Every structure is written in structure tokens, then in C-alpha cells.
Structure 1
Amino acid sequence: MGWKITTFIVLVAVVTGLFLSGVLKTPPEPLKFQDNYWGRGAKPSSKPKDHDNIHEISVNVPNATLVDLKNRLKNVRLFDSALENVEFQYGFRLDYMKDLVTYWKDKYDWRKQEAYLNTFPHYKTNIEGIDLHFIHVKPKLKQGQTAKPLMIVHGWPGSVFEFYKMIPMLVDPTSHGGSEDDVFEVIAPSIPGYGFSEMPHKKDFDQIAAAQMFLKLMERLGFERFYVQGGDWGAIITRIMALLKPSVITGLHNNMIISDTGNPVSVVRTMVGSVFPSVVGVKPEEYDRVYPYGKKIMQLLQETGYMHIQATKPDTVGFALNDSPVGLAAYILEKFSTWTNPANRDLADGGLEKYYTKDELLTSVMIYWTTGTITSSMRFYKEAFAGKALETRGMQVTVPTGMAAFPHELGHVPEAWCAPFYTNLVHYTLMSDGGHFAAFEKPALLAADIRTFVKKVESLHTSN
């Protein structure tokens, strides 16, 4: 026990300076709505009469785009050979890519997938100068039944397609293990520059700007109060929505926990927890998700090389990915492999078909390919690091909050560590299985956790 006490004293001494510098920092200013315009050219002096119209659309890719894709797949130039005894440890595996390209070229049916995409209603409306795409699914309500409005927001390299298996579980709960009180009306927007939403034509479009736009969308749709849910960028965007306008957010649910883990207090806590986990609130069942910390950091470094590229020179790599469907597939699907479960690096197919079908994987890629939005989606990283969006991680969310912590997420924030950033945390679940793309991989688990969280919030409202 003596060595533990000595280690504790040394750790505290080492980080005291960091702690003092952290607590003396000026806190970030509260978020306010900005007068944004992301369209081409100068901002118009007045808005057109129909600027707030909402148009129903359908996904319909021109035949010429599909012909061009097939030609590119036929003429793909792959590197000559793979390393021996290597699966996905070096990235996307050559033999599996050959198999995937053959399937993509000869068997994959985009028109079939397009029809599936159109099973949900798609809409566009112009906000702040660009056309925002969203899916809006309304439940069939019985007499006396009401639905809870819920916005769900995707991340990178995802799209609204991630939610297709989960949406029916939310709008028709009685067919998927829920009760009549669990019914939701779901709104799922595409982040501008992703998939079917128009890309911003000016720099500085970050997660704060997206949050403001989504709040305007919900206001335009007539919702005075609503729930929000998200993972990846969607977690940051929905969190910022709750910071920007907490009065309209009934509850916030995230499947990726956002906190300022780099501040001195968090550093002290993490280091102390490696020796005395119970002192800093790390439960025994959470310990392996946080420690050994050095190993966790190395795993994170292995998975975040893309972030440095996209946060600095996204347009450079964008030329390559926008020109090559095979390159785009490798870049995106490698993330679906290791972010779903890091153990997938050791599997010949990257574990991809253990969790998803080839059609699901290729449709995820096709949404970026057919819309030409991979470059604009990657710019979201540069804007995040260049602006103030990441500063919001240290701000306190006051609305009722729920967290679903999946075991294979890129990082883990224990429940006890959420308190400084979420003052009204009413729900926290250590999920039994699943990774970063929770809605896509484990839709039933995520839908059930959302329902449980909302029931808690509704009960709080009833008691109040």
C-alpha cells in the first residue's frame, strides 16, 4: 500500500501546476445565435417570399452517375500485392476489397437501395442560404395517443441511412418491444455538406452553426419543445443545441459522451484513478473501459490519423476520395470496421459482414459518392478545430440528459466524470455490446435506451 500512497503524492504534485492554470482560465462566453449566411455570393438584402417553404423530395440519382461509377469500378487500379499474414492491421485488406469491388460492380443494385431510402419521406428547406435535407417520419397514432418529437443527428463518416433500422422501432414501438406510450415522431437531418444537404459555400460552418440551423428547422416545423439524440458529430451538435436554447430541449440523449477530458482537473482525476479508481468514482465494471490509460491512448492514436488530415488539409485528400469510388469505400469502411470493434483489425473481412451486409456498407458509401460530399464532410473537422465548437465541451448542459456508453466506443467517460458537464444527468447506461455506430449496429439496444431515458424525463415532468 506504501507505493500507492507515494504514487498518489507524486501524481498530485506533478499536476498541481496544471490544475491551477486550468481553474484560473477565463470561462468561455455563453453561446448566442449568429446572423449566418452560407449560400453563394453576398447575403440577399431581403428574403424571398417562399424562403421558408418545405418541399418533399425523393432520392433519384441520374443514370449517367451510375454508368460512370461502373466504368470506374471496371478500370480500378489496385496495388499489386498485400503483406503476408496481415488482415486489417494496416488498413483495408486487398483481398476483401477485390471481393467487395466485384460485388459492387456485378451484384449491388443501387435502384433497389434507392427505393428503400425512399420508404421514408424526404424533405428540403432553405435555411441560412442553403438547402437543408431531412427525413421526417410521423407515426400512425390511435385516438388519444400523442407522439414525442425527437431529432436524431448522425456523424462522420455516416449519414441518415444509419437510422433506417432504428426509426421503425421509435415510430412503431408496439411492433418492436415498446409500449403505446413510447411512440416518437422522428426528424433526421443531414448535416450540411453531408449526403443530401447542400454544402456550405463559405468557411467557418462548424458544429455551432449546424446546431443553430437544426434549431431553426425544428421551429419551422412547429415544434416548441422536443428531444434530441446523437452520436459522433451528432452528439456534439445536439449538446450545443441544448446550450444554445435549453428552453426548447425536453431532453438530450447521446451515445457518445462529450466532455472536456483535456482540462487539468480531468487529467488529475484520470491519473489518480489509475491507482485509486474508487476515489474518483470509477466503478469496477468501468475500469477496463478507461485503463490501462497508456494503452487506451495508443489505441486512440491508431484510430485518429484521419482527424489530423481532415482538421488541417481536407481538400487535398478530398480530390483523391472524390475521384475514386474504391478509395472512398476503403476510407469510409475501414472506420466501420475498427470503430465498431477494434478486434476487427484481426479479421480477414475486418468484421464488416459480422455486423452489416454488403448492401448496407455500399449504400453508406454511395450516399457520399452520388452526392460528391466527401470533401465538404471532411471540412467539418477543420472548422471544428479552427473555431469555438470544441470549447463548448467544457460548458455545462442543464437540460435532462441521458447517456448510453457502448463498450467499443473510441473513448469512455465514466458516469461520475459527467457531473461537471451535465448538471442534470438523469440516465446513464453501461451498454452490454456495441461500438461507435450504435444506431446502425445495435438499433434495438439504442432505441430501448432512448425509450427508457424519455420515460424518466416524462416522469420527472409529471412529478413536477
Structure 2
Amino acid sequence: MGWKWPLILSVLAVVAGLYLSGTFSEPPTPPPLGDGWWGKGDREKAPMVDELIRKFSISISNDTINDLKKRLRNTRYFEGLEGAKFHYGVTPEYMQTVVKYWLNKYDFKAQEKYFNKYNHYRTNIEGLDIHFVHVKPTLKPGQKSKPLLMSHGWPGSVYEFYKILPLLTDPVNNGGTAEDIFEVICPSIPGYGYSEASHKTGMNAHVVARIFGKLMARLGHDIYYVQGGDWGSTITTFMGLLLPEHVKGLHINMVVDVNPPLQLIIGSYFPSLFLPAKDHHRVWPVIPKFLEVLMETGYLHIQATKPDTIGHSLTDSPVGLAAYILEKFSNVSRLDSEDGGLNDEWLLDDLLNNVMVYWVNGNMASAMRFYKENMPLSVDDINKCQIKVPSGIADFPGEMLNQPETWARYKYINLLQYNSMPRGGHFAALEEPQLLAEDIRIFVRKVETLYK
């Protein structure tokens, strides 16, 4: 055969891979924005919706605290394995130290006061009470702030943004300039935190994007920026897709649903055909990368199929809930340590504050349902649509899914900025607030310069 036929066959395979993976195919048209009703009963029979924005404070009753402490004291532990460390998950030994701290050192009332450091509100949209934190900066005469919606993911909450909020709303005193000032809105996804859970099936990221758009309109913002990680990345991406006339810029710190399948396979043998050499290690070899993701996504398979089943145990047991959440904050690269890297990277108060959001509201089951509702979207045309609004990506090295810039541009076709961050992982706003804030600032400056 000589060298010609293998070369021709390879080229044909590459072209077929590009076509079947969507690179050469015409992207679908974005779906209509739509409307919905997620409250109890029929919309026509429901009372008239009160669209007022109502302020409220986070309050943890003494009965809730006493019940939690009783449950913690009555925890049943199992025996750990010698030398297992965190390879089997959160160890019973580590959870005993968490419980001891939770019972004896965690200051419930002090943390409640800290939660109320920022203003909390609720408003009813599509039949649900939607919660959000709203921080307005102090402006000088003639100064204008830029509206920014930030969306969390699972198993996070609006608490993820507490350390980054002052950097964005008071930039002059936190490493920025007067031009970097933002008015920040951080809503809780329906079914998470202090937002009411949907009473009907079908509450997916498309719906939440629409609801968050209505929230911004109700707050009087016609043009604004959006930012997100994890599910927040998907939600804000959909906002850019469905509301392009309102989203001035989209910034995310996690990219999903981009990897072209046949490029992944063919690239294992001919990597330089698809990516620069510096990006080869991000996606190849395919099998070890796939197995790594598979080993760390057992929770996804459970939550995308039968979330309510495990929801019973996580709603009833604070230790079970805490272990389930804390394991996601552990560092996969530090499974050989006694604490999975938790003590090195996080304050226990921060970890427990996030757990408390789920425990007090009893909504881990409704939060996990978001996976089941969104799994059909992973093969739906909406995820094949291209995002045309100005976009920026902060790629943190500790993220589970690291997408090369080349492939990110398949979807985010107006990608103004892609930065590989020096450190940090999945919960970037809480873990590396300074890095993320500066990346957002740089991105918004570019948008403001290019799209005046």
C-alpha cells in the first residue's frame, strides 16, 4: 500500500470525526425562551402572584440547633479500613473530628450573623419564591456600577461568593480600580438554599436561565454580565444563548459539553491534528482520562437516575449530608492524606456553613434532582448551540473537566479571554476569590472597551 493509503484513510477519518462531532455541521437554532409555572397546582387556579421583592434575614432557631446537636451526638459510625485514607471516600475518623468541631466549636449564632452580612431577598417568579443575595456598592457622584449575576452549582450555595463579594463591590480597597465596581446579584437555584423547590418535574438549566433573566429584569437591569461555575456555568451559558440582547458578557470557570467525541478518539493517535502540544495532556490518552472521570462521578449517576432514594438518608442524617458534601470539596490529588486535602485548603467553618445551608432548608433531595432534570439536555440540541455573546473562561487546574481553548471556541465563538489559572479548583469563588475576581475584572474591561 505504501504511505499514501494510510495517509488518505487517516485524513478521511479525521474529516468524518470533525463532521460527526459537530465541527463542520451547521449549529442548531437556539430554542424559544418559553414560559412556565412551577408552583403548586394549576397556574390558572393559583392565587395572583405577588411580584414584590421582599427582604428577609437568615435565622436558625434554637429548636433546629438542638435537634441537629441531638442527631450529631447519636451518630452511628462504622469501622474504617487500615491505610484506606480517602480512597474509599470520607473516613469515619475524619468525620468524628468534624462532628466534634460542629458540636463544640462551631458558633451557630456567630455564623448566622455572618450570613446576614449581606442583604437577602425573595421574590416570586413562575410560582416559586426565588432567593438571592444582593450587594449594591457605595457609589460616588457620577459613578456607575456594572450589574453582575453570579450563579453557584452543586453541592455549593450562595455562600460560595461571600469572599469574592467585597472584591467586586469595593474594588478600590481590594486590589481593583474605581472602574471595576459591580452590583452583584447571587440567586439560589430553585430547590437549593433558600429558593423554593419546583413542585413539578422539568426544572432544568434552561428554565433556571429564564427565571434568572426575569429576576434581573425585575431588579431593573436590562443589560448585565453573568458569571458561573459548575451548574452555574451551564445556567449562565444558557442565559447568554437565550437572552443575548440582555447579557453583555458571559464569564465562566467551568466548561462542559464541548469535547468532540471522535476527536478524542482519533486524537489519541494523532494528537497534533487537533490541539497544540501544550494541551495534549488535558484530554489524552482517552482511556485513563475517562476512567479518572468515571471514578469521581458516582454521585452523578445516582443523582441523574434516582435522587430521591438517597435523598431520604441525606435529609435525615447531618453526618451523612456533611460527608457527602465534604467529599466533593476534597482534593483528588491528595487522597493519600488523612483528610483528602480538606484541612490544607479549607476552613472548617466555611465547609460547615455551606453544609448548614442544605441542612437547615432540608433540600438536598431537591438539589440533587437538578441532575435528573438536566441529563436529557446533555444530548439535546440546546447544548450544540453556539454562544455568540462576548465570553471569558478562567480555567483552574484543579477542575475535573479542563477544556482546551481550541475546543472551547467551538461553542463560545466570541471568546475574548481564556486564562489558565496558576492554582485553584472547582469552587473557585470560595477557594481563590482574588484570582477569580481579577479575571472577571480583566474580562469586563475588554468587553467595555470593545462594546461601548
- Scaled by the length of structure 2, the TM-score of the pair is 0.94
2:411 counterpart SS class? coil
Change (3 A) 1:332 1:11: farther
What displacement does 1:32 show?
1.3
Contact 1:208–1:389 (Cα < 8 Å) also in 2: no
Once the two structures are overlaid, the 10-residue window that deviates more, 173-182 or 186-195, is: 173-182
Match of residue 279 from structure 1: 273
Cα pair 1:204 1:387 within 8 Å, conserved: no
Structure 1 residues 283 and 203: CA distance shift in structure 2, 3 A: same
Query: Which residue, 394, 405, 411 being the options, matches 2:401?
Result: 411
Q: Which amino acid aligns with 1:37?
A: W
RMSD value over aligned CA atoms?
2.4
- 1:111-142 deviations in Å (ceiling 9; x for gaps): 11111010000000000011000000000111
Given the alignment, which residue of 172, 191, 195 partners 1:174?
Answer: 172
Q: Secondary structure at the match of 1:312?
A: coil
Equivalent residue in structure 1 for 2:392, among 399, 402, 408: 402
**Residues 426-441 of structure 1: matches in 2 within 5 Å?**
426-441=416-431
Query: In the alignment, which of 147, 150, 154 is matched to residue 148 of structure 2?
Result: 150
CA distance in structure 2 between the partners assigned to 1:390 and 1:21 by the alignment: 14
Question: For the Cα contact (< 8 Å) 1:154–1:233, is it kept in 2?
Answer: yes
Tell me how far apart the structure 2 counterparts of residues 291 and 22 of structure 1 sit (CA, whole Å).
20
Preserved contact between residue 315 and residue 375 of structure 1 (Cα < 8 Å): yes
1:391/1:117 CA distance change after superposition, 3 Å: farther
Q: Which of 232, 235, 238 is equivalent to 2:233?
A: 235
Name the counterpart of 1:381: 371
Aligned length: 450
Identify unmatched segments of 5+ residues in structure 2.
none
Per-residue CA deviation, residues 129-181 of structure 1 (Å, 9 max, x unaligned), is 11000000000111221111000000000000000000100001111111111
Note the C-alpha offset of 1:206.
0.6
1:336 aligned residue: 329
Q: 1:242-257 maps to which residues of 2 (within 5 A)?
A: 242-257=240-255
Q: Secondary structure at the match of 1:252?
A: strand
Given residue 259 of structure 1, which amino acid in structure 2 is its aligned partner?
A: D
Question: 1:295 Cα deviation (Å)?
Answer: 1.6
Task: Judge conservation of contact 1:12–1:268 (CA < 8 Å) in 2.
Answer: no
Going from structure 1 to structure 2, the CA distance change for 1:372 and 1:11 (only over 3 Å counts) comes to farther
* 1:389-424 deviation digits (Å, cap 9, x = unpaired): 854221100000000011111111111112221121
- Residue in structure 2 matched with residue 222 of structure 1 by the alignment: 220
Q: 1:321 aligns with which of 314, 339, 350?
A: 314
- Give the direction of change, closer, same or farther, for the CA distance of 1:74–1:391 in structure 2 (3 Å limit): farther
CA distance in 1, matches of 2:438, 2:86: 32
Q: CA 1:215–1:176 in structure 2 vs 1: closer, same or farther (change >3 Å)?
A: same
2:53 matched residue in structure 1: 54
Q: What is the alpha-carbon distance in structure 1 between the residues aligned to residue 423 and residue 122 of structure 2?
A: 35
Q: In 1, are the aligned partners of 2:318 and 2:359 still within 8 Å (CA)? A: yes
Once residues 313 and 342 of structure 1 are traced to their aligned partners in structure 2, the CA distance between those partners, rounded to angstroms, is 25
Q: Residue 342 of structure 1: CA displacement?
A: 1.6
Q: CA shift at 1:23, angstroms? A: 7.9
SS in 1 for 2:335: helix
Residues 307, 369 of structure 2: 8 Å contact kept: yes
The AA in structure 2 aligned to 1:441 is E
TM-score, normalised by the number of residues in structure 1? 0.92
- Aligned pairs for 1:11-410 (under 5 A) are 13=13, 16=16, 19-20=19-20, 28-44=28-44, 48=48, 51-79=50-78, 81-261=79-259, 266-284=260-278, 286-337=279-330, 341-386=331-376, 391-410=381-400
> How far apart are residue 15 of structure 1 and its match?
8.7
Distance, in Å, in 1 between the alignment partners of 2:165 and 2:344 is 22
Q: Given residue 313 of structure 2, which amino acid in structure 1 is its aligned partner?
A: A
Does the 8 Å CA contact 1:215/1:241 hold for their aligned counterparts? yes
Q: CA 1:355 to 1:17, structure 2 compared with 1: closer, same or farther past 3 Å?
A: closer
Write the distance in 1 (CA, Å) between the matches of 2:317 and 2:150: 30
CA distance in 1, matches of 2:85, 2:8: 41
- Call closer, same or farther: CA 1:460–1:99 in 2, change over 3 Å: same
